[in-house]
Structure 1
Amino acid sequence: MPIRVDLLALEPNVPGRACLTVKKWQGGEEQLEFSIQRNQDGFYLQDQQAWSNNPFWFKVSRFTVAASGEALEAQVGPEVVNPLLEGSANSQFQIELREQSLGHADKGVVRPGVGLLPSTAGGQTRSTYGGADLTAPAAPAAPAPEIPEIPDLPELTLPTTEPEIELESVPNEREYTPAPPPVKKSNKGLLGLALVLVLLLAAAAGFWFYKRTPAPAPTVAAAAPAGADAQACTLESMNSLPELTFVQTCIKAAPDSAKLLEIINEAKAGKHCGVAQRLYANRAQAGDALIANAYAREYDPKYLKASECFPVADNATAAYWYETILTQDPNNAEAKQRFEELQK
């Protein structure tokens, strides 16, 4: 029986690194090795992230047993993660695992899981994993507390003469204004009072007006996010945005399964094969049985409708997605039947 192999993101996620998980392996746990072959040209992945027609074996001294006890796990780095993520929309990868003693061996399909990032995306998360290193360069900049400019400040102390002038002018004003102003102040006081009353009336009117009409603001604010979400998965956005950006924003908008299938069909019709592949895989791996079933049928010879994005049947890939459904819903009769038939 073929092994099931998943390439899953670590927790926390680390760009360029992943967990290689193997189920249904009947061999040992130590001194294993694996090779990866892509479907479009039959080439094998090499150790320098290159492809060649000669098999190359990645050696793993020991796999660890998963907490569930049903799988073996080993961490892999950019030499495996990057080439698989850079594959074209139609790329499929077959992995062969064997004991280094050339004992037990088995094959299966391996696919990048949800959330995997290439090592080139390290800048997006480096603050999480290498914060200490990033803060180190900031240290040299610290000694530049450019306080040498402080010598210039004493020169600015010339204004010390101004306070003295102000202090002199204050007593002078008090000397020249003792008797005459009292009568004038009373008139100014009345005018001031009138102005204050006018301002208070204006403020009260304004408060009454705004209190009666606050409703329009919330409706505008509520409409904005809905419009943004509505634009996230449109054909216009698909045509204008980079593939990965569109997929990320569309997934974030979380359309229901039926709507997502419509978007995938639009992507296929518009020859956005990478978009269709990524949307399918993301939701299927997240446990959406409807999407996983539709994705399996894209490769199932029984249901295949050849298109530019899915030109030929692939039994192993179809079986992979039917098995994904069964991990979520073991009683799914159709998925179980197709999975068993494709294994023959």
Structure 2
Amino acid sequence: MPIRVDLLALEPNVPGQACLTVKKWQGGEEQLEFSIQRNQDGFYLQDQKAWSSNPFWFKVSRFSVATSGEALEAQVGPEVVDPLLEGGTNSQFMIELREQSQGHTDKGVVRPGVGLLPSTAGGQTRSTYGGADLSAPAAPEPEIPELPELVLNTAEPEIELESVPNEPAYTPPPPPVKKSKKGLIGLALVVLLLVAAAAGFWFYKRTPVPAPAIAAAVPAGADAQACTLDSMNSLPELTFVQTCIKAAPDSAKLLEIINEAKAGKHCGVAQRLYANRAQAGDALIANAYAREYDPKYLKASECFPAADNATAAYWYETILTQDPNNAEAKQRFEELQK
């Protein structure tokens, strides 16, 4: 059975870095290597983000076992992340994982996950590995400088006792002279009378203030404009996708938007909307996306010109991870494995 491979964003997200997650691998965890091949020309990913017709193997000294115990994980850097994110709208990538001893080997589809960022999103990002070796380098131990020897004087100093002068006897100050409160009371009465007179004059002369006019209501449905065909035609692809995702249309509405994108040959928009919602666990969108590649349901278009069994199986399997009892997804997944 093919392996399932996901390229997921780290937590917290780091531009140019990702976690390569492998499920259903039957081999060992150490001394592994993998190659990545794209579908449009059959070229293989090389070191330094290049593509060539010759296979190139990225070596991993050891995969770590995920917390769930059901997958292997290894961190990869810009040499892998950037080329996969730069792929065209119809790009699909096949990964082959094998033991370096030429033992067990298996293949599967690998797709960039939601939220992955290229290394350019954060400026110059250093890779955590050198060349094609994906093992993390050991951090050098810091050198501890030699400290000068501390010499302690063991001789006990003689303590001289100084004579303390006698303090003069404390004499309490004389009690304060009480002031008469009659003057203060009279002043307070005068102030109160003036305040009362001013308040009465204001109350008599005041005029009622008219109630403020009710502000005009803000037009509702601002988010409804985020996913329109006009916005799709006027905004950059990524901006439109981000805005539309933020508006969070329901599954049926999103399928309408995707169909409009396909009809308008906005293939990148259709791909991104499909992948984002499908990876977020929307079974309806994932099923529709799988059918775009399933030879049983394929309706060839400019955005989805040909069937791809491995990609269709990937999205059916995505459905099964959320709903293991989905009979249709299970049936199609098993048939596509034959």
TM-score bin (small chain): 0.7 to 0.9
Distance 1:36 1:87 in 2: 12
Q: Quickly say closer, same or farther: Cα 1:265–1:29, change in 2 above 3 A.
A: same
- Structure 1: runs of 5 or more not aligned: 141-147
- Per mean C-alpha deviation after superposition, the further-off stretch among 242-251 and 215-224 is 215-224
1:307 partnered with 2:313: no
Distance 1:96 1:156 in 2: 62
Residue 79 of structure 1, CA deviation: 0.5
Check conservation: 1:44, 1:53, Cα contact below 8 A.
yes
Please tell me the root mean square deviation across aligned C-alpha atoms, in Å.
12.3
Measured against aligned partners, the alpha-carbon deviations of 1:277-318 in whole angstroms (never above 9, x if no partner) come to 000000000000000000000000000000000000000000
Measured against aligned partners, the alpha-carbon deviations of 1:46-73 in whole angstroms (never above 9, x if no partner) come to 1111110000100010000000000000
Q: Quickly say closer, same or farther: Cα 1:180–1:34, change in 2 above 3 A.
A: closer
TM value normalised by structure 1: 0.72
Q: Quickly say closer, same or farther: Cα 1:242–1:213, change in 2 above 3 A.
A: farther
Q: Quickly say closer, same or farther: Cα 1:28–1:235, change in 2 above 3 A.
A: same
Check conservation: 1:98, 1:106, Cα contact below 8 A.
yes
Q: Quickly say closer, same or farther: Cα 1:191–1:237, change in 2 above 3 A.
A: farther
Measured against aligned partners, the alpha-carbon deviations of 1:162-221 in whole angstroms (never above 9, x if no partner) come to 999999999999999999999999999999999999999999999999999999999998
Distance 1:275 1:60 in 2: 34
Looking at secondary structure, tell me which structure has more helix per residue. Answer: 1
Q: Quickly say closer, same or farther: Cα 1:230–1:214, change in 2 above 3 A.
A: farther
1:206 partnered with 2:200: yes
TM value normalised by structure 2: 0.74
Q: Quickly say closer, same or farther: Cα 1:236–1:7, change in 2 above 3 A.
A: same
Check conservation: 1:322, 1:335, Cα contact below 8 A.
yes
Sequence identity (%)? 91
Check conservation: 1:98, 1:105, Cα contact below 8 A.
yes
Q: Which residue matches 1:121?
A: 121
Residue 136 of structure 1, CA deviation: 27
Q: Quickly say closer, same or farther: Cα 1:330–1:188, change in 2 above 3 A.
A: same
Q: Quickly say closer, same or farther: Cα 1:332–1:221, change in 2 above 3 A.
A: farther
- Structure 2: runs of 5 or more not aligned: none
Q: Quickly say closer, same or farther: Cα 1:317–1:203, change in 2 above 3 A.
A: farther
- 3-state SS of paired residue (1:128): coil
Q: Quickly say closer, same or farther: Cα 1:153–1:255, change in 2 above 3 A.
A: farther
Distance 1:178 1:257 in 2: 88
Distance 1:47 1:290 in 2: 38
Q: Quickly say closer, same or farther: Cα 1:213–1:121, change in 2 above 3 A.
A: farther
| Aligned residues between the structures | 337
Distance 2:74 2:10 in 1: 11
- Per mean C-alpha deviation after superposition, the further-off stretch among 185-194 and 173-182 is 173-182
Check conservation: 2:4, 2:109, Cα contact below 8 A.
yes
Q: Quickly say closer, same or farther: Cα 1:110–1:196, change in 2 above 3 A.
A: farther
